[in-house]
Structure 1
Amino acid sequence: MSVQDKHFLNTPASLVLDSLRGLCTINPRLVLDEQNKTVYLGSHDRSKVALLCGGGSGHEPAHAGFVGRGILTGAVCGSVFASPNASQVRRGIELVDNDKGTVIIVKNYTGDVLNFGLAKEQYAALHPDKAGRVKFVIVGEDVAVGKTQGSIVGRRCLAGTILVYKIAGALAERGGSLDEVYSIAEWVASNVATIGVGLEHCHVPGTAPSASHLQASEIEIGMGIHNESGHQRLSPTPPLHELVPLLLNLLISTSDSERSFLPFQGGNGKDEVVLLVNNLGGVSELELGAIVGEVRGALQKKGIVVHRALSGSFMTSLNMPGFSITLLLLPTATSPSAPSSSLILSLLDDQADAPGWKWSSGTPPPAEPKTVTAAAEIAQLDSGIAPLKSSDPVSFKASVEKACNALIAAEPDITKMDTIAGDGDCGLTLQAGAEAVLKKVADGSIDGNNLVRAVIAIAQVAEEAMGGTSGALYSIFFSALAQGLQSQPKTSTNTVTPSAWSAALTSALSKLYTYTRARPPSRTLVDPLEAFIEALGKSAGSDLGAAVTAAAAAAEHTRDVAAKAGRSAYVEGERLRKERVPDPGAWGVKTILEAFVD
């Protein structure tokens, strides 16, 4: 897998400060000390405990994005993945100075601990009267670092520190004392565990482009947020339903002597947690939603009760394509000197006024998502209306199957056209529709003995299986065709005549034109569709061969037509003319008609 090594910036050196200026644009309550790359609340209530954090940049929204009422008072930022120096931190302590005291929350990385610790001691030396009013909390909760490996330096810090910020910050906002805020921060830091997984490492702006660290089929479990390698690689990449239980076992195991950090009791309703699923920077919201659902389900299977579920980008690693799972093990009634579970949850639920904090429901997630049953399929026509049928039902059914199989076979060619002339999905969309129609043929919903029902079923398939613009166009057209067939004069045998087919098709095209501005020549599917219907009308529906020839010619002609509608309208015109790529939607209509009429 390739590393994304391109970035939007002025210069690598100015990126952190440029980003902080942008953050202050978003949150006008912030004040920026540019020299020390520190942001803080300019209107902080001096009668309340202040929370100060910081570290290397590249983890946004952590840390500066959480500066706001109800979470942090200030954040000191270093260069990307590099700790701020002690003078920066000391200035940060001075900027959040107050009457009640300050709690400094630091990630367990050597540079952060040393520089923040040095700043604290320097501040105490300069202000001996305030030395006792500055407390120091170190957070390290990465279970990928085993007890033997971390025997001296301890575990790395990951997204779990965000829960420390939020819970301690909410207590400070409520007016908690320095000792109370410090104690709850210490408790949360001691009862949280995190594991990360990545598809690839990230790229640091200003450094040379790097080669892939992982093979295309590999993932790495236990990666740190500064590109530190994990402790295990898996290949091929497992599906979520296999990956998530592996990750959870690292968090909740009580038998792993290296990673049994928290006193889980084996599920069965005895363990209650807060769940945080964190985007490490490069995972889409679409994927993240699936991850959250999978983690929630896996915890439920293990008998672990989830009281709150949070998801989003809390602590990133620049653009790393990965995520982490954090569990905060809530206290039981017998937990010694622990805050109550209800207090922890209420502090987590307190409103926070900071850009980095994500929306949360404030309630436990449901055991299962609330769903409704799928809508019933379109009912068959009223029994009082005689079904219309084809003059040759067997041939009609065979023609439908032939057209579907032709579309499926043409998928690679249509997809190739659409990668140049559109967004690359036309072939797959048409293939999905064709496969769904074949299923309807197989179950008897589409046959030549009830044409209206068959056409309505095709319209339904276009809506549900295809979707998007082309699905809507096909569905409108076939829905209108069903109406047109019903409005034609009936024969004694209820057989649809060629002239009735022609008139119904003309009516359907007219209705379609009320919903699209595309008109031939437009380089869209209406080009061959209109050509077919017009040619068929000239022979009152009797000369199908001439109509198909006209449609094929119109589809071929899209090679030389300027795009006026559809996705192609957004593609650079010279490229389309140079490569003479036909419109993929028009080619799909051509494929259907040629196979159906053959």
Structure 2
Amino acid sequence: MSVQSKHFVNAAENLVVESLQGLCAVNPQIALDVADKVVYVASPDRSKVALICGGGSGHEPAHGGFVGDGILTAAACGSVFASPNASQVRRAIDLVENEKGAVIIVKNYTGDILNFGLAREQYAAQHPEKADRVRFVVVADDVAVGRSQGKIVGRRGLAGTCLVYKIAGAHAKRGASLNEVYDIAEWVSSRVGTIGVGLEHCHVPGTAAGESHLKPSEIEIGMGIHNEPGNRRLSPIPPLSDIVKEQLDLLTSTSDPERSFLPFKGKDKIVLLVNNLGGTSELEMTSIVRETRLQLESRGYQIERVLAGTFMTSLNMPGYSITVLLLPDSSEKNAPSASLLLELLDDKPNVPGWKWSAPSKPLAPSAQIKQTSGTGSAAAVAETIRLRAEDPQAFIASVKRACEALIEAEPELTRMDSIAGDGDCGLTLKDGANGVLKEVDAGRISGDNVVDSVIAVAKVAEERMGGTSGALYSIFFSALAQGLQVHSKGTLSAAQWSESLTEARDKLYTYTRARPPSRTLVDPLDAFVRALAAAKGADFGAAVKAAGDAALKTRDLEAKAGRSAYVEGNRLKDEQVPDPGAWGVKVILEGLLG
């Protein structure tokens, strides 16, 4: 897959500062020291412990997005994926200095540790009486880096760091002492594990667009947040359930000497954080949450809290990470209580970067997710008039042909709609076709009961297709079922089909303003119905040809309705692309004709 290499910037070298200035517009609590790229609480409560963090930019909302009441007091921000220097960190310490002291929390990257550590030592050298008031916590939660590989440098710091920020920050806001804030940050740091996965690496603004790192059929388990390589690559891309299993095997292992980092005992209580690495859709994210939750619970873990969203990104990386915080049990000595940790996690901070989360454990799926029986639809079908096709076997054969033709045409319809619409027409019609084929296989569509079959098609269009086209098809076929029952008895004739199709078209017109020529599916549908009516249903082939001609002509038409109306007109003319919805009608009718 290709790397997203286009960005919205004035100049790449100014992006970090301009981003921090925009953050100040969002969050009135904070101020920005432009020269040192430090964001800090403008009027901090100096009677409470300060929390300082930072690192390379490109991980937003970390770090500046967490600065504010309830989490961080200051963040020193480097260039993209580059640590801030010691002078920047010193400035952060000076800006929030107080008598209670400060805790510096950094991710385990060499540059961060050296520069934040140097700043701390410089501060201690200049203020020896305050040397013990600035503590240092390093978070290394990446389980993709084994003990042998990380023997010297240790494991990388990933999204688990955000849980350390949150819990330590809430503890500080409650008025905890320096030792208490430091101790709880250290303890949480020792109990978080994270594993990421990416479909592709990310692109740094201002750099040349490189070759794709991964093949179209590959994913990478264990990628770092600075484009570092992962633990392994998988190809072809497995289903999500297999990806999550692979991640959880690494994350929860107690037998792998390289990666058994957390002391799981069985039936442990945990906090789950699913983090978007920057380029994953919200639709996919909640699906990932579902899969991860189900697999963790199937392994016996008790999930006390679920957090999900964008916490620590890798710019625009299409990927996500799973973090687990292992909560203590009552037998552990020198550990904070699980109830305190959850309370601190639940405390609502007043910062723009922290995502909403429920202050309770997830409910059992059965309490929230209801499955309908569909008995109401069955009862409605039972009241319809039973009508038979003239040739029931030919009826079913034509339905199958139309569905198979739509499925085969999906790539071309998708290509057309990527130019003339929003790119989903091919997949929408394919979903409808597959749904109809399932109804055929289940015996709910047959030539012996045409009305029920037409109603079944309308239901598929409503439930499987959705959107505008699904509604249009469902209205048309529902109206067709009504017309068939009014005009027909016993066995359906061609003339009766024609009369019912005409009425169905007219009823559809009461719900859409589109009229031919409009560059929509109405163009071939209307041409088909008119030609069939003119021949009193006797020349189906001529009517299908009329529909095909009308669909082809849409390539020369100005769009007046549908999503194509929003596409720049010259592009449609230059591309000479027929309307994909109209083309879908052509494919269906030609499939019926065979």
Q: Could you say which TM-score interval applies, normalised by the shorter chain?
A: over 0.9
Q: Deviations over 1:226-266 (max 9, x none)?
A: 2222333333333332222222222222222222222222x
Q: Which residue of 2 aligns with 1:9?
A: 9
Which amino acid letter does the alignment assign opposite residue 523 of structure 1? R
CA contact (8 A) 1:381 1:453 kept: no
Q: Which residue of 1 aligns with 2:413?
A: 414
Aligned partner of residue 487 in structure 1, secondary structure = helix
Q: Which residue of 2 aligns with 1:436?
A: 435
1:343-382 mapped onto 2 (5 Å cutoff): 343-368=340-365, 370-376=368-374, 378-379=377-378
Q: Which residue of 1 aligns with 2:515?
A: 519
Moved more, 212-221 or 96-105: 212-221
Which amino acid letter does the alignment assign opposite residue 133 of structure 2? R
- What's the CA shift for 1:294? 2.1
1:72-471 mapped onto 2 (5 Å cutoff): 72-265=72-265, 267=266, 269=267, 271-368=268-365, 370-376=368-374, 378-379=377-378, 386-471=385-470
Aligned partner of residue 203 in structure 1, secondary structure = coil
Q: Deviations over 1:424-453 (max 9, x none)?
A: 433333233223223323333223333321
Q: Work out which of the residue numbers 509, 524, 528 in structure 2 matches 1:528.
A: 524
What is the rounded CA distance, in whole Å, between the counterparts of 2:586 and 2:212 in structure 1? 44
What is the rounded CA distance, in whole Å, between the counterparts of 1:383 and 1:307 in structure 2? 48
- What's the CA shift for 1:555? 2.0
What is the rounded CA distance, in whole Å, between the counterparts of 1:47 and 1:238 in structure 2? 53
What is the rounded CA distance, in whole Å, between the counterparts of 1:131 and 1:384 in structure 2? 85
CA contact (8 A) 1:75 1:92 kept: yes
Q: Which residue of 1 aligns with 2:577?
A: 581
> Residues 6, 403 of structure 1: CA spacing in aligned structure 2 closer, same or farther, 3 A cutoff?
closer
Which amino acid letter does the alignment assign opposite residue 321 of structure 1? P
Moved more, 356-365 or 553-562: 553-562
Aligned partner of residue 158 in structure 2, secondary structure = coil
What is the rounded CA distance, in whole Å, between the counterparts of 1:406 and 1:220 in structure 2? 36
- What's the CA shift for 1:79? 1.2
Q: Which residue of 1 aligns with 2:43?
A: 43
Aligned partner of residue 568 in structure 1, secondary structure = helix
> Residues 311, 574 of structure 1: CA spacing in aligned structure 2 closer, same or farther, 3 A cutoff?
same
> Residues 351, 551 of structure 1: CA spacing in aligned structure 2 closer, same or farther, 3 A cutoff?
same
Q: Deviations over 1:388-438 (max 9, x none)?
A: 333444443343334334434444443443344333433333233223223
- What's the CA shift for 1:184? 0.7
Q: Which residue of 2 aligns with 1:552?
A: 548
1:502-513 mapped onto 2 (5 Å cutoff): 502-513=498-509
Which amino acid letter does the alignment assign opposite residue 283 of structure 1? T
- What's the CA shift for 1:588? 2.2
What is the rounded CA distance, in whole Å, between the counterparts of 2:237 and 2:441 in structure 1? 36
> Residues 193, 548 of structure 1: CA spacing in aligned structure 2 closer, same or farther, 3 A cutoff?
closer
- What's the CA shift for 1:521? 0.1
- What's the CA shift for 1:50? 1.2
Aligned partner of residue 151 in structure 2, secondary structure = coil
Q: Deviations over 1:136-155 (max 9, x none)?
A: 22222222233233333332
CA contact (8 A) 2:541 2:593 kept: yes
- What's the CA shift for 1:382? 7.4
> Residues 117, 571 of structure 1: CA spacing in aligned structure 2 closer, same or farther, 3 A cutoff?
same
- What's the CA shift for 1:307? 1.1
Which amino acid letter does the alignment assign opposite residue 588 of structure 1? G
Moved more, 328-337 or 389-398: 389-398
Q: Deviations over 1:94-151 (max 9, x none)?
A: 2112342211112222222222222223223333443332222222222223323333
Which amino acid letter does the alignment assign opposite residue 214 of structure 1? L
1:20 aligns with 2:20: yes
What is the rounded CA distance, in whole Å, between the counterparts of 1:260 and 1:595 in structure 2? 58
CA contact (8 A) 2:194 2:323 kept: yes
What is the rounded CA distance, in whole Å, between the counterparts of 1:75 and 1:584 in structure 2? 51
CA contact (8 A) 2:30 2:40 kept: yes
What is the rounded CA distance, in whole Å, between the counterparts of 1:131 and 1:385 in structure 2? 86
> Residues 292, 121 of structure 1: CA spacing in aligned structure 2 closer, same or farther, 3 A cutoff?
same
In structure 2, list runs of 5 or more residues that go unmatched.
none
> Residues 181, 426 of structure 1: CA spacing in aligned structure 2 closer, same or farther, 3 A cutoff?
same
Which amino acid letter does the alignment assign opposite residue 520 of structure 1? P
Q: Deviations over 1:443-473 (max 9, x none)?
A: 3322333332121111011112222221111
What is the rounded CA distance, in whole Å, between the counterparts of 2:364 and 2:90 in structure 1? 48
CA contact (8 A) 2:476 2:507 kept: yes
Aligned partner of residue 194 in structure 2, secondary structure = strand
Moved more, 546-555 or 34-43: 546-555
RMSD after superposition: 2.4
- What's the CA shift for 1:535? 2.9
- What's the CA shift for 1:58? 1.2
- What's the CA shift for 1:33? 1.1
- What's the CA shift for 1:579? 4.2
Q: Deviations over 1:342-368 (max 9, x none)?
A: 100111011111111111111122343
Moved more, 87-96 or 365-374: 365-374
Aligned partner of residue 365 in structure 2, secondary structure = coil
CA contact (8 A) 1:415 1:425 kept: yes
What is the rounded CA distance, in whole Å, between the counterparts of 2:222 and 2:384 in structure 1? 66
In structure 1, list runs of 5 or more residues that go unmatched.
none
Q: Deviations over 1:170-207 (max 9, x none)?
A: 11111111111111111111221222222332222222
What is the rounded CA distance, in whole Å, between the counterparts of 1:248 and 1:394 in structure 2? 51
> Residues 399, 110 of structure 1: CA spacing in aligned structure 2 closer, same or farther, 3 A cutoff?
closer
Which amino acid letter does the alignment assign opposite residue 280 of structure 1? L
> Residues 232, 410 of structure 1: CA spacing in aligned structure 2 closer, same or farther, 3 A cutoff?
closer
- What's the CA shift for 1:84? 1.4
What is the rounded CA distance, in whole Å, between the counterparts of 2:470 and 2:385 in structure 1? 29
CA contact (8 A) 2:385 2:451 kept: no
> Residues 206, 396 of structure 1: CA spacing in aligned structure 2 closer, same or farther, 3 A cutoff?
closer
Q: Tell me the TM-score normalized by structure 1.
A: 0.93
Aligned partner of residue 378 in structure 2, secondary structure = coil
- What's the CA shift for 1:542? 4.2
CA contact (8 A) 2:384 2:452 kept: no
> Residues 589, 148 of structure 1: CA spacing in aligned structure 2 closer, same or farther, 3 A cutoff?
closer
> Residues 213, 126 of structure 1: CA spacing in aligned structure 2 closer, same or farther, 3 A cutoff?
same
Q: Which residue of 1 aligns with 2:534?
A: 538
What is the rounded CA distance, in whole Å, between the counterparts of 2:517 and 2:385 in structure 1? 39
CA contact (8 A) 2:381 2:452 kept: no
The percentage of counterpart residues that share the same residue type is 66
Which amino acid letter does the alignment assign opposite residue 546 of structure 2? A
Q: Deviations over 1:44-84 (max 9, x none)?
A: 22222111111111111111111121111111111112221
> Residues 387, 232 of structure 1: CA spacing in aligned structure 2 closer, same or farther, 3 A cutoff?
closer
Q: Tell me the TM-score normalized by structure 2.
A: 0.93
- What's the CA shift for 1:87? 1.8
Which amino acid letter does the alignment assign opposite residue 94 of structure 1? D
What is the rounded CA distance, in whole Å, between the counterparts of 1:261 and 1:443 in structure 2? 51
